[in-house]
Amino acid sequence: MSHVLKFDLASVELEIGAPAADRLISGSPEFRTWNFEEASGGLYAGVWESTPGKWRIAYDEWEYFHILSGHSIVTEDGGEAVHLKAGDSMVLRPGFAGTWEVVETTRKDYVIRL
């Protein structure tokens, strides 16, 4: 087994999804996820993309992500909106609750730890 993992979208199966109906605020966003790593201990890494829309999010996990393209707005309940564009990075910690709005189709790479 190699200790190197290159993110090659053609090498993994694409997963299609959407926000749960009870979390959807506006639009009809579609998620595309390429999950490259599922390591023991609850660690995940991959690429995620969404078409425009807005929905509620709540995190029990820790996530680091880096925006590759597009424009999204993440807003914590009671906090200010954070506009995210290509080149921006963010960490969402367990307990985060708020909204994710995709203004322009957004692609990010991510690492999640449960």
Residue 1 lies in a domain: no
pLDDT (tens digit per residue) in 18-51:
999 999 999 999 999 999 999 999 999 999 999 9
Closest among 17, 110, 101, 102 to 51, alpha carbons compared: 102
Global pTM reads: 0.94
Which domain does 37 fall in, by range? Answer: 24-113
- Count of the separate structural domains present in the chain: 1
Counting as low any pLDDT under 50, the low residues of the chain are: none
The CATH number that applies at residue 105 is: 2.60.120.10
Residue 58 lies in a domain: yes
Amino acid of residue 69: S
The Cα diameter of the chain in Å comes to 46
Category of 36 on φ-ψ map: left (φ > 0), alpha (ψ -120 to 50) or beta: alpha
- Tell me what pLDDT residue 70 has: 98
